[in-house]
Amino acid sequence: MSINAEEQRLVETARRVLPGGLFGNLLTEIIIREGRAGRVWDVSGNEYVDFLIGSGPMLVGHAHPEVNAVVAEQLARGSTFFTNNEHGILLAAEIVDALPCAEQVRFASSGTEADAVAMRLVRAYRKRSKILKFEGGYHGMSDYALMSLAPPYAGNSEQPIPDSAGIPDSIRNEMVVAPYNDIETARQVIHKYKDELAGVIVEPMQRLLPPIPGFLQGLRDITAEFGIPLIFDEIVTGFRLAYGGGQEYYGVTPDICTLGKVIGGGFPLSAIAGREDIMAHFDRSKVGAEGFLPHIGTLSGNPVAAAAGLATLKILKRPGTYQKLHATGNAVRAGLEKSLGDAGIPAVAKGEAVMFDAFFSNRTTINNYRDTLDQNQAMARRFNGLVRERGILKSDGKIYISTAHDERDVEQAVQAFQQAAAIVADERLTI
């Protein structure tokens, strides 16, 4: 991929004014100028099949005409009001209709905010402070969430490991950690801390690791036994795996879920949704001053984002949409697996059809974070770099599929995988 003078100047400016020259998201200096459907173009005019899709929000593709139309209509009426608005109310109603756990909805602006508020919500409900999360689980950038997201080594107990500088030591005492997909250990930890736990938070599919049979239901059973709220972090999986999210797809209903990405249609919007008796803590008249959880956000329920989200959900509800989405993803995944297999590269693809990637590992089974620690990271980075050079934009850890991706996109991706795999196979001894 070539870079022109304009993009080079922007890269140099970014290096001067941004820490590390980046926003802190994708670790590449590619500067994207525009996107349409399943493709994007950088400032130099290079075209990419986009398997990043904004890290997930653009499930119906970039610049979808139906989404753009409602956004333009709302912009002409105003951008934000800090009051209830029609689009936000209707979006909340759609969420309640769609998700098994949702009886009421509270909007926020980011996944980090929604997850942090959900944890605070169950603390208010249970009047206890500890939260159980799972090793390798991502729940945003709050101090509580950045515990054992990516520990450099596998812990031997439920004591969490901070992932960032600047987190108070006291936070470690408020979080408990267990390995994902290990229901027996989870049961033991929950039983041990049952009188201290405010809630359990889990991604129904943790990053790219699907739940093994019985894991989510086991969590549901043990938390219900002790009256501990179960939170599904569906920032990523909500409206992606199925219209009813991971809870519909895997057939397990939590007490609370968090949503983001898809529901904003490309604009900043997130939500907490769940049981009415728990959500009542946002209403002082229901719980009194001691139980009340104040939550204010300047852009929460923003009408532009809500309009974009409603239009996106309308598109997703059409017959055949999810069948096509899964079929496209299965074709891309099959091409990835075959390319690596034909090249003799040890790797295993994990995830679901709509969101997956390859782990470069000799393991045949990868079920939790600890199983990923021996992945050949250098080989993965090299492969992903070669794929980007061939016009496929993806992160170093995930392929997102959109409804806008078509046969031409699949064909180009598979060809790029084949070429990249062949080069990596030749270089393997030097990596």
- Provide the 8-state DSSP code for 322: H
> Which entry of 48, 125, 138, 144 is annotated as an active-site residue?
138
The SS3 assignment for 39 reads: strand
139 in helix, strand or coil?
coil
Q: Shortest CA distance to 21 belongs to which of 34, 33, 8?
A: 8
Alpha carbon distance 221, 278 (integer Å): 18
Catalytic residue from among 130, 261, 350, 394 = 261
Q: Which residue in the block uniquely carries the two structure tokens 């009408």?
A: 303
**Among residues 44, 9, 7, 47, which one has the least CA distance to residue 389?**
47
Amino acid, res. 138: Y
Listed in sequence order, the DSSP H helices in 212-366 are 215-226, 245-250, 276-279, 284-291, 303-316, 321-342
Please enumerate, as own/partner, the contacts of 304-307 that have beta carbons within 8 Å and a separation of 24 or more: 304/71, 304/74, 304/75, 304/79, 304/80, 304/267, 305/264, 305/265, 305/267, 305/268, 305/269, 306/85, 306/87, 306/88, 306/90, 306/91, 306/107, 306/269, 307/70, 307/71, 307/73, 307/74, 307/87, 307/265
Identify which of 189, 203, 142, 146 has the alpha carbon closest to the alpha carbon of residue 352: 203
**Active-site entry in 42, 50, 233, 409:** 233
Indicate the burial class of 310 (C-beta count within 10 angstroms; 0-12, 13-18, 19 or more).
Answer: buried
312/241 Cα distance (integer angstroms): 15
Give the distance, in angstroms, between the CA of residue 69 and the centroid of all CA atoms in the same chain.
26
**Quick check: 208 and 397 in contact, CB under 8 A?**
yes
According to DSSP, the β-strands at 175-178 and 130-134 are parallel
233 is known as an active-site residue: yes
How many other CB atoms sit within 10 Å of the CB of residue 413?
Answer: 24
Q: Give the closest residue to 182 by CA, choosing from 137, 225, 141, 139.
A: 137
**How is residue 206 written in tokens?**
């943790």
The residues annotated as belonging to the active site are 138, 233, 261
